[in-house]
Amino acid sequence: MAAANGADARKAVKPAIGAMLGAYWKAYSATPAALSAMAGDNGIEPDFFAASLRRLGSGEPAEEVLDDSFVTAYAVAGTVEECLEQCRDHASAGVTQMTLTFQGEAPEAAMARFGEAARATAG
C-alpha cells in the first residue's frame, strides 16, 4: 500500500495481514509442517509470531497486535518511494513476479501514483 505517510500505510495494511495469517493459521492448525513453514524464514521470532497469532485469534485488533516486522515480512507498504524500494529488494532476492493489491480509501489513485513512479524510475 502506497500512501503519503509511510507509517499510515503500514498501519493500514495490518488488518489485511492479520486476516490472511489468521485464516492460514486456522486452516493449517492440524498440519505442523505447514505452520512451521509459515512461521519460519519470515524474520519474526517464532515465539512472538505464535503469540501474535494467538492474540489475533482471540479477537485483538491487528493494528495493536502486529508490529512492523509483520508488514516487512508480508506486505509492500509505505510511501511510493518506500514501496518501489521494497519491490527492488524483492527483485534482488530473486522474485520475478509480484501481485500488488492496493488498499485504502482511493486504491485507484494509489495505483496510478505507484505506476507513474515505477515508470519514471524504469527508464
Reported as a single tens digit per residue, the pLDDT across 34-77 is: 878 888 888 999 899 989 999 998 999 999 999 999 999 999 99
Spatial contact of 36 and 28, defined as CB atoms under 8 Å apart: no
The confidence score (pLDDT) of residue 123 equals 64
End-to-end C-alpha distance for the chain, whole angstroms: 23
- Kindly report, residue by residue over 82-105, the tens digit of the pLDDT: 999 999 999 999 999 999 888 878
Flag whether 1 is in a domain. no
- Split into its structural domains, the chain has a count of 1
The confidence score (pLDDT) of residue 48 equals 94
Per the structure, the complete domain to which residue 84 belongs is given by 6-122
The confidence score (pLDDT) of residue 61 equals 96
